[in-house]
Structure 1
Amino acid sequence: MTATSRPLAATPIAGGSRIIGTGHHRPERVMTNHDLEQLVETSDEWIRQRTGIEERHIAADGEDVADLAAPAARAALADAGLDPAEITQVIVATCSNHERSPSVAGRVAQMLGLSDPAAFDVGAACSGFEHALAVADMSLRTGASRATLVIGAEKLSAVTDYTDRTTCILTADGAGAMVMVPSEEPTISPVVWGSVTELADAVTIGGEGPAFAQQGRQVLGWALREAPTISRRIVEAAGLTMEDIDVFVPHQANLRMIEPLAAALDLREDAIVADDIITSGNTSAATIPLAISRMREAGRIPSGATALLIGFGGGFSWAGQVVRLP
C-alpha cells in the first residue's frame, strides 16, 4: 500500500450554504392556561407571571412526531419553491419520538415520497435544531448533500406529567422546518457548541410514560449567567458584532428567561426578539425553527435579515450560529 497526496473529495466543495425556505406546523388543539386549571393546581395569572405563556398546541392521541414534522417540511418546500424530489438529505431534531427505529427523518422521507435521501435524527433536546443545522451546513459545504430538509419536531405532551404543575405548564407540541442548499458564500456561520456535564441531569426524559422533568432554577441560573457570553462568542465566530444582529431567536423555554437574556446582549433598539413561547409554549427542538417560520409568515422579519440563534437544555447541551434568513 502506498500513500497518496491526491484529494479525497471528487465532489467540488461549496463555499457555504443558505436557507431558502421555512415552514411550520402546530396541532389543531389549543390548550389555554384556563384548561390547565382543570388538570392541576395552577392559575392563568400564575402561569403568565412565571413563564409568559398564554396557550400552547397539543397533538391528538393518534398524531406522532412525524405527523407534525411532515406538514412543516411541506410548507418549507413550498416556501422554497423546491420539488421534494430534489431533497437528498433529511435531518430531524427531536427528543420525543416514541420509536427507536425507524427515525422520524425516515418516516418523513417516506411520507413526502422522497427518493432515497440520507435520513437520520439528532437527539440533543432543546439545542437539537442548532446541532442539526450545523450538520446540514457541513453536508452541503462538502457536497454530501445537494438539498437538505432540517426539521425540529416534538410531541412533548406524550412525555409530560399533567400532575406536575412546574413542567406541564411549559410543554407543547409542534414542528418547524428549513430547506437548505449550497451557496457560493457562507450565510450560516460556524457553529459554536458544547455541553455542561455537571448539569447533564438538569433536564431529563425517562424511558416510560410521562417522564419529562427539569431542575428549573439550575437551567434559569445557567441561562442568565452563561448564555450571554456564549451568544457573544457565536456572533464573534460569524465575524460580526451585536450591531449586525437584526433578529435574536433563543430557545423558547420561558419568556422570563428570554427577556433578561436579550437585555444582557445590548442588541440594537430595533432588533426583533422572538417571543413565540407566548402562544406556542416550549416545544424543545422545534422552538427556534417554529418561531422563525411564524415570524416570517407574520411579516415580522424582513428578507435577508441576520439572525442569532442559540439553543440550550437537555443533555445539558448548547449550540448556536448566526444565519441569514430568506
Structure 2
Amino acid sequence: MIGSRIAALGHYQPAATITNEDLAAIVDTTDEWIRTRVGIRTRHTAGDEEPVDELAAHAAAKALANAGLAPRDIDLVLVATSTAIDRSPNTAARVARRLGMESPAVMDINVVCAGFTHALATADHAVRAGSARRAVVIGADKMTAVTDWTDRTTCVLTGDGAGAAVVEAAEPGTEPGIGPVLWGSVPAMGDAVRIEGTPPVFAQEGQTVYRWATTQLPPIARKVCERGGVLPEDLAAVVLHQANLRIIEPIAQKIGAVNAVIARDVVESGNTSAASIPLALAKLVERGEIGSGEPVLLFGFGGNLSYAGQIVRSP
C-alpha cells in the first residue's frame, strides 16, 4: 500500500465578527473575564443565509486552487461536522454539488471537535487501500447556530468557519506525508460535551473537559509522535483543537514540543469545533510559519471525549 500526503490547504471564515465587548452587552461578562479564562478576543459568525456546506465549499475551493486541481480530480469528499441541520443530502454531497464535482464518494463524519483528524485518517486509509485516488477533507462547523446566548460560560467560546485539505497518494519511493493515526474515546464520560435537543444546543462540563484534556491527553499525544517517528522536540508545529488557551498551552508544554510553533488561532477565531485544526494549520502555512515538508502534530479532542492525532508533513 502506498502512503498519502497533504497536497494543499484552504480555509474560510465569514466576514462578520463578534467581539468580547459585543458579548458583554448581552450577558454578564467582560473582555478581561473572557481573555483571562479562555484567551479569546473575537470570533467569526455566519448569517442565516450561510449554511455549513457553503462554509465548507469555500474552504475546499481554496484548497483545490492551491493544489492546482479541478473539482473533477476529486473522487472522495469527507466533511467533518456536527452542526449540519439536514440528514440528507449530507454536507459532503452538498459541497460536491456546489463545486460541480462529477461522481465522488461523499461522507459526513461527526466526531465533533476531533472530526477533522478522524476524517483525515479515513482519507489516508482510503488512499492507502486504493479505494480513493484523491480526496478533499473538510472540517466545517457553524457553532454559533447551536449556542445558548444566555449561558456566559459557553457563548464566549464559539465561532464559525471551515478548513480543508487535499489528500493524495504520496510519490512512489517517498515517505508518507500523513502518519499513522492514534484515536479513541471515553464513552463513559461522553456527555461532558453535548449538542442535544430540539433545537440542538451546545453545552459542556467545562471543568471535567479541562481536567481530562490537560492530564490524560499529553501522554497520548506523545504516543502519536512515537507512531509518526518524530521526537516532540523535532516538531515544527503543534496544532491542537482550538478549545481555549487554558487547555492548548498546558497540553503543548507537557508534550515537550519545545521548538515548535504552537497554533493559537483560538484567540481570533474562537472554538470552531471540527474546523479549528484545518483553519489553524492553513493559516500557519499561508503565513509561512511552517516550511514545506516539516513535521506537524495534529491532535483533535472534545465531543464524546474522543481524540485522534497524527503527524503530517506540511505541504
Query: Does residue 188 in structure 1 map to residue 178 in structure 2?
Result: yes
Please tell me whether Structure 1 or Structure 2 has the larger radius of gyration of its CA atoms. Answer: 1
SS in 2 for 1:275: coil
List alignment gaps of at least 5 residues for structure 2.
none
SS in 1 for 2:28: coil
List alignment gaps of at least 5 residues for structure 1.
1-12
Task: Specify the alignment match of 2:271 in structure 1.
Answer: 282
Opposite residue 282 of structure 1, the aligned amino acid is N
SS in 2 for 1:311: strand
Please report how far the alpha carbon of residue 210 of structure 1 lies from its aligned counterpart in structure 2 after TM superposition: 5.2
Distance in 2 separating the partners of 1:294 and 1:39: 31
Query: Does residue 132 in structure 1 map to residue 84 in structure 2?
Result: no
Query: Does residue 242 in structure 1 map to residue 232 in structure 2?
Result: yes
Deviates more, 1:292-301 or 1:92-101: 292-301
Residue number among 46, 65, 75 corresponding to 2:52 in the alignment:
65
SS in 1 for 2:191: coil
Deviations 1:208-244 (A, max 9, x none): 2251000010000001111110101101111221122
Opposite residue 77 of structure 1, the aligned amino acid is L
Deviations 1:168-192 (A, max 9, x none): 0001100000001011331211110
Deviations 1:224-270 (A, max 9, x none): 111110101101111221122110001000011111111112213x3
Task: Specify the alignment match of 2:40 in structure 1.
Answer: 53
Distance in 2 separating the partners of 1:91 and 1:198: 28
Q: Is contact 1:22-1:75 (8 Å) kept?
A: yes
Task: Specify the alignment match of 1:301 in structure 2.
Answer: 290
Residue number among 158, 178, 181 corresponding to 2:145 in the alignment:
158
Query: Does residue 228 in structure 1 map to residue 228 in structure 2?
Result: no
Opposite residue 252 of structure 1, the aligned amino acid is Q
Query: Does residue 317 in structure 1 map to residue 306 in structure 2?
Result: yes
Distance in 2 separating the partners of 1:128 and 1:241: 25
Deviations 1:193-221 (A, max 9, x none): 00012211000001322510000100000
Query: Does residue 174 in structure 1 map to residue 164 in structure 2?
Result: no
Opposite residue 241 of structure 1, the aligned amino acid is L
Distance in 1 separating the partners of 2:138 and 2:263: 18
Q: Is contact 2:185-2:304 (8 Å) kept?
A: yes
> RMSD of the alignment, in Å?
0.9
Q: How does 1:64-143 map to 2 (within 5 A)?
A: 64-143=51-130
Opposite residue 111 of structure 2, the aligned amino acid is A
Residue number among 21, 36, 40 corresponding to 1:34 in the alignment:
21
Distance in 1 separating the partners of 2:148 and 2:34: 16
Task: Specify the alignment match of 2:243 in structure 1.
Answer: 253
Deviations 1:277-310 (A, max 9, x none): 0001000001000001111112222121210011
Query: Does residue 205 in structure 1 map to residue 192 in structure 2?
Result: no
- Pairs aligned (count): 312
Could you list the structure 1 runs, at least 4 aligned residues long, displaced by more than 4 angstroms after superposition.
none
Distance in 2 separating the partners of 1:230 and 1:273: 18
Distance in 1 separating the partners of 2:197 and 2:283: 32
SS in 1 for 2:154: coil
Opposite residue 304 of structure 2, the aligned amino acid is G
Q: Is contact 1:140-1:182 (8 Å) kept?
A: yes
Task: Specify the alignment match of 1:44 in structure 2.
Answer: 31
Please report how far the alpha carbon of residue 271 of structure 1 lies from its aligned counterpart in structure 2 after TM superposition: 1.1
Distance in 2 separating the partners of 1:197 and 1:69: 29
Distance in 2 separating the partners of 1:308 and 1:242: 9
Opposite residue 261 of structure 1, the aligned amino acid is I
Task: Specify the alignment match of 1:8 in structure 2.
Answer: none
TM-score normalised per structure 2: 0.97
TM-score normalised per structure 1: 0.94
Opposite residue 48 of structure 2, the aligned amino acid is D
